[in-house]
Amino acid sequence: MLVVILMGSKGDLDHAKKIAHTLEKFEVPYVMRVASAHKIPLKVLEIIKEYEEKDVVYITIAGRSNALSGFTDANTTKPVIACPPYSERFGGVDIFSTLRMPSGVAPLTILEPEEAALAAVKILAMKYENLKEKIKKYHEEKRKEIEKADEEVRSNG
């Protein structure tokens, strides 16, 4: 089992680290790689080929014109989760390059790094039973956070 965090450039590293942090909480192994579908598409293909025989989920990180997510998805049978970093530069409209994919290309799009990692863990949990219990525990912790917040608001209201 493995999550491949594939970045379009090293500039995406901070975003990737947020994903990695959540994967570490679930004790899910991951690797970080850098390759651009626009600049070195053959390198992306090499990376995909390297992991094709493993139980892997790809999380792709690319902004602007996000060819990486669609290109990766079109060249693997494995799940691909696009997690593009938000950019103020274009007022967020560059997200459309991630949301609008051609027919036959279907990467999932999740904007928040923690949730992208969680989705990858849930996909892997379909095969790895130990992850199911970790997800249940995670959900329970989130429920407790909300219950605590509700209690605090009611008490101070």
- Block residue for tokens 């999380």: 59
Contacts of 74 (CB under 8 A, 6+ apart): 104, 105
Q: Give the residue ranges of the annotated binding site.
A: 9, 12, 36, 39, 63, 65
Residue type, 149: A
Residue type, 87: S
Q: Give the residue ranges of the annotated binding site for substrate.
A: 9, 12, 36, 39, 63, 65
The three-state secondary structure class of 4 is strand
Would you call 9 exposed, middle or buried from its count of C-beta atoms within 10 A (0-12, 13-18, 19+)?
Answer: middle
- Block residue for tokens 């990858």: 120
